[in-house]
Amino acid sequence: MNFNLLTQQIKEVQDAIQASTAHAINISLTARNWLIGCYITEFEQHGEDRAAYGEKLLVNLEIKLNRKGLTERRFREFRRFYQVYPQLGSGLIKALPHEVIRTIITPELESQIRLNPIPLFSEMNSALTSAESSIAIRRPAVAEFKDMPVDLLVKRLPFTHLRILSNIDDPLKRIFYEIECVKGCWSKNELQRQINTLYFERSGLSKNKKALSAMINKQTHTLIPKDIINTPITLEFLGLNERALVTESDLEQAILDHIQFFLLEMGTGFCFEARQKRMLIDEDYFFCDLVFYHRILKCHVLVDLKVDKFKAKHAAQLNMYLNYYKNEVKTPDDNPPIGILLCTEKGQTQVEYATAGMDENLFVQKYLVQLPDKKELEEYLTKELNSLRIEK
């Protein structure tokens, strides 16, 4: 054995076991979400005391369970997932360890699974061929195509993909993206991008669908194990800390540590509220570096750091955070939130107060009086940034 062979063997071991781990985590996560959706649907249809909860069922579940990741919004997703993919139960249960199956299988669930049997392996290719050949803009009769085989959906598509697919109402459009995902091994972001750019509709208009598919998959970002493991839903499922959701360089973290200390010590009225504050906007997660509440101004102060020269998109992103806080977090007694955008380039720091989207009122003048002096903050950040770079 030589050194090159040694490194190759270690790489293969790492990649194979990481892929196996990601697959096992995904199967378990998908099974949990399907089962929760199944239980909720069953209760809503046949629960003895379902009338007592009505529309508040999912809210009460969140309160009663008090488990990270099990929220009203997630329950709605799981219910939708189950109702769109009821046939997955047999494949998911089959893939779980026997000791888990013995714990979770109830007579009702066993009956539900029997209603949705796994298709024979010999049917898989014919189902794919049938589905692919019937793709067009105008939806054909349901009898003209078959569902994607359960084993392919369970083993090849992570829950993050199935969640996106379950939001597609048209069965033909949904199976189109299922097929393309399996063939191209798309990442979640790639699937969402293709839906947003109307790939299904473009394929319907295209005379050469296979050529379009080949061209699309040449340009796509493919799924890798870390795409499954490092997602908010998976990390919540594994009970990991929210900080694991964000990847920041040591330099950025050190700068944020110093800025947080500076504002608390030198900025009168600042009360620390959150670090890497997570915001869910549509289907995407965003993170604001630091969030404070200013007790004198009675408003939130959002600080966003970019170790980069100032760009218009940085201000636009912070403005989005401000509007989110204004609509989702601000109480009637609060003043509109404000933002501090910190940008750096070659040791020179420029500070911009992002006030776009705020109400034009007297509070803006109060902000300029109460917030730390711009020049002082620039000098402090430049000094700290230079010292941290020297240490590294």
Q: Specify the amino acid at residue 133.
A: S
pLDDT of residue 6: 87
- Buried-state track 285-295, b at ≥16 Cβ within 10 A, e below 16: eebbbbbbbbe
Q: Specify the amino acid at residue 335.
A: N
Torsion of CA 11, 17, 18, 19, to 10 degrees: 110
Could you list the mean pLDDT of each consecutive 10-residue stretch along the chain, which spans 392 residues? 86 86 86 91 84 84 88 92 89 74 64 47 39 37 56 87 93 90 86 87 81 76 71 70 47 70 73 88 86 88 80 83 92 88 59 49 52 69 66 52
Euclidean distance between CA atoms 153 and 149, whole angstroms? 7
Torsion of CA 371, 373, 374, 375, to 10 degrees: -170
DSSP 258-272: HHHHHHHHHSTTEEE
CA-to-CA separations, 41 to 45, 112, 168, 280, in angstroms, rounded: 6, 12, 19, 25
* Eight-class DSSP state of 327: I
CA-to-CA separations, 158 to 45, 125, 225, in angstroms, rounded: 28, 21, 10
pLDDT of residue 382: 72
Any alpha helices (H) in the chain, and if so which ranges? 3-46, 57-65, 72-84, 88-95, 98-104, 107-114, 124-133, 150-156, 159-165, 171-184, 188-196, 199-205, 209-219, 225-229, 232-238, 250-266, 312-324, 363-370, 374-391
Nearest to 277 by CA among 262, 261, 288, 263: 288
pLDDT of residue 113: 57
Nearest to 58 by CA among 30, 37, 35: 37
HSE toward the beta carbon, residue 137, CA cutoff 13 A: 9
pLDDT of residue 143: 36
* Eight-class DSSP state of 230: S
CA 45 and chain centroid, separation: 30
Residues counted in the chain: 392
Q: Is residue 237 within 8 Å of 26, Cβ to Cβ?
A: no
Ordered domains of the chain (ranges, CATH): 3-238 (no CATH), 248-391 (3.40.1350.10)
* Eight-class DSSP state of 350: E
Read off the pTM. Answer: 0.58
DSSP 50-65: GGGTGGGHHHHHHHHH
